[in-house]
A and B are shown apart, each in its own frame.
Chain A
Amino acid sequence: MASLIGSKVERKEDKKFLTGKGRYTADINLAHQTYAYFVRSTHARAKITNVDISKAKKAPGVIKIFTGDDIAREKIGGLIAGWKIVSQDGKDMKVPNHPPLAKDSVNYVGDHIAVVIAESLEEARNAAELVNVSYKILKAIVDTGNAMQSDTIHEGIDNNLCFDFILGDKKKTEESFSTADKIIKLDLRNNRLIPNAMEPRACIGDYNSSSDELTLYTTSQNPHLSRLVLSAFGGIHPEHKFRVVAPDVGGGFGSKIYAYAEDAVTAWASKKIERPVKWVAERSESFLSDCHGRDHITHVELAIKNDGKITGLKVDTIANIGAYASLFATVTPTYLYAPLILGLYDIPSAFINVKAVFTNTAPVDAYRGAGRPEATYLIERIVHKAANEIGMDQAEFRRKNFVDKFPHQQCLVHNIDSGDYKAHLDKALEISDYKNFKNRKSESAKNGKLRGIGFSTYIEACGIAPSAVVMSIGCGVGLWESAEVRFNATGNVSVFSGAHSHGQGHDTTFAQIVGDRLGVAIENIEVIHGDTDKGPFGMGTYGSRSLAVGGSAIAKACDKIIEKGKKVAAHMLEGKPEDIDFKDGDFILRSSNKKKTISEIAFACYLPGQFGDAKSPLPPGVEPGLKETSFYDPVNFSFPAGSHICEVEVDQNTGETKVVKYTAVDDFGTIINPMIVEGQVHGGIVQGIGQALYENSHYDDSGQLTTASYMDYTMPRADNFPQIKIDYTTTPATSNPLGSKGCGEAGAIAAPPAVMNAVIDAIGTDVSMPATAEKVWSAIKKNGYKKAAA
């Protein structure tokens, strides 16, 4: 039987999506359903002096209007930050209360003030316009760099400082800098982005007063985690009476990790009015109130020797976390960021300082890559500059500094188990035809275009995460994953996973793992996820963890099935369990070569006894049934790495920049389904190119989001890209039974510096993301085109 691992299996889930039979939250309609519309703040920072609902209450179709006073009266808890960061002075981070409906003050445009519930959406929307909110408008604090010198947004949080985090050895790093031959410096801004999953967020609260059961249908990447947060901290409903269902979800990219105000309010409101309450975001609401991503300003310095060896790294970052601290907002710019700034390089000393600030903007949290794109952008931009300043080839400079022995204990946090960095760099150089770049540059010049080349050799920490490690550094939960593999009596298999698929193709990849381990045909395996009433508690999907952690849990559960199967087979074949081999779905007694198929064993487990010709008594002490659960806690993070090389052409008359060639060679460890991995890489790279060239979330000085529609926020579109070439090298992860490292975020992590280094190479001068035509044209105009390499 051919192995299913590494096989390009077409996706089991595709047909429903291709024929319009997907079932997303907005597609669900319940009997007696009502519609919610949120009244949102139109000001970035204001005191609420009055919320007058008298007119709205009388509007046609209105059932009920709730405000922050109602939420406070019922003692509904605020939305939480799930990861405690300790500042360098030893004090805990400072976070404000974040009520689902604001009571006294609003802190960003889009902040929730009231919810209008009506018989129809139109009636709810119309009545919401009649809610009259009186504000005392205050000066908005918007700018990341100035936030600490501005008025205090939240009482008791001086300088708007959430935390002042440090990592590394300051003294050793200072020594490296004092003995350096050259110090390279760079100031960088990592532009603020809006995740923009194509399915807008939605939720339906559905309370059954007779059974006291509450169901929340929601667009979530992690239904169990949302239930836990809403139950334990929101106090919405007891966990055992609370079901959260995340059905088909149309993309997440991090933005659907968090339990949002709308989840809490619709769930709670359905209890109050005893009818289902449905809310579906308009796209403008998604722009305003989905968690945004990135938004750092950073000063970085690199100490190097004349031979190109890096000896030290210093980083000062201000991270904007928006108006409130969202669920993973505090870990994203700290532990997901700072340790990764070392990149693929053997850097003996580093010192990182991150100050996280509150501003009157939407909360900023994990977005595809979460901290690692920001880290990679820093190190790859400054490495590019360093190589240029000492006149070394970009590939050579990197190669000289690559870690080349594994395991490798980095000077900050991570112990890298495996990798072969020169292998993927060499392969990328070959595929991208690096040696002939100069010819291509000359060709471009003939057409009046400036051509540049940029490298990004990146690492990420995925497979999030070993519970003992993350809980020791402030995480409020363990980050294991669960799986249940359940044989049915007829020999087919139901697999329950705590991970959630919203585009990643788990139905197929996970089935491949089970099929491979248990020798069951893939069409006889069904993967079930996204419903707290079905599988065991799971932590969900983010941080490229589903395969490395969730897939490993599935593999472990399969191993337990085999273990039990051996006992049953031994009894039926009249041997000992230790004399049974399991191969391709057969349990074989070594001495006699007699065998039982796994279907026969499953049948025996469910029908233990004799019935006609069927003889399947179980051995003494073995329980009937064939179902195993595993909670897998990884022993380490996994460390995908790779080399991306980008070439751009810039029209110097207009500043328009086009990616004309893009090569990615990644090491994701063991690949289960190369077709799905390829899709993840394509999508990630395009999002990364989007950050570099097109996308930007912009607030004006008064805190109005000026990029709140697809007419103002530039999404990458089909005509923006060339064919992307991708390939792999493989060093299996040693930290999990599959050897997989994770692939979902790699493209978004690697691409921005590859593109920006190429743009800077082309125009010979610095420019910030996104490198729009206007910015590139202005940069050329201001600094003149400096003839780079050619």
Chain B
Amino acid sequence: MLTFTIRRLVLAVPTLLFISLVIFMLLEFAPGDPMAQVPLTVPPEVKEKMREALGLGQPIHIRFWKWIVQFFWIEPQVLIDYYFGTSFSEGKLRVISWQTRSPVMDIVVQRIPQTLWVVGTAYVVAIIIALPIGIYSAYRQYSWFDQLGTFVSMVGFSVPPFFSGVLVIVIFSVQLGWFPSIYDTTLVVDSWDSFVKQLQQMIMPVMVLALQITAQLSRFMRASMLDNLNQDYVRTARAKGLSEYVVVMVHVLRNSMIPVVTVIALGIPAIFGGAIITEQVFKVNGIGQLLIGAIQANDLPMVQTLTFIFAVLIVLFNLIADVLYGILDPRIRYD
């Protein structure tokens, strides 16, 4: 397993470079213009000058190379400088966003806390709720609990966040006035009061997101449990006189985790990627909102950097999932 992990990690480097090239070409090829949001009152000659100032006049391969150097060589230096107070990166040009003319990574670092707070919490909440629901629904298939769980999760999944988000805002912010409708990203949690405030503003986005994730996870958990509950080894385990709890929670659960692990592993990069629509609805200015804003403004360095970070996370977590398969089911061998 260790050699497998190392081999995969080494292979990840060319994979990621290739992915970054594909993303770059895709963005290059997509129609769009960083000047699209500049008002029509600015004449085309001026827009052309502004484009040149952004470095758009240079050929594609030079811009790609520049990005590679900036991202893989200069940005790590900035990080080292930040931690050790050195000055390797001084005077070197970092990845600069076209919208803000400031380093992309600074903005990303600024946005990550919001996304982790909201989307991360939603994920944790969803996993905590979804797994028991999935397990119990499968164990008592077609009981009223299972039927209710199915109904709620399917309805929850089929209602898009642009609707459920606005619905909870209208109910809890406008009608009842319990929670703020706009997330305050300047809030600093340093006391009990501010913590309560943070909780209040998080409840609605977390609720909306967790509903979606719970629905998805609990369905996979249930289906996978159902597959395993009728297997021969379960009968054997029961025949051995193991308690029902041990049979279900140890033997069946462990064998049912593979699809669930896959779904969770696919979901973790999405936490960092943020939930675009939910963030937009609740004005949680996290990574998702940053990405959609950058795409709309055709801020290519920003989009490129963000998608590349997601790509790294995707490759990494899919690798972790593969390793976990081997632990959950030792029969799975990669080498």
Chains A and B form a bound pair: no
A interface with B by C-beta (< 8 Å): none
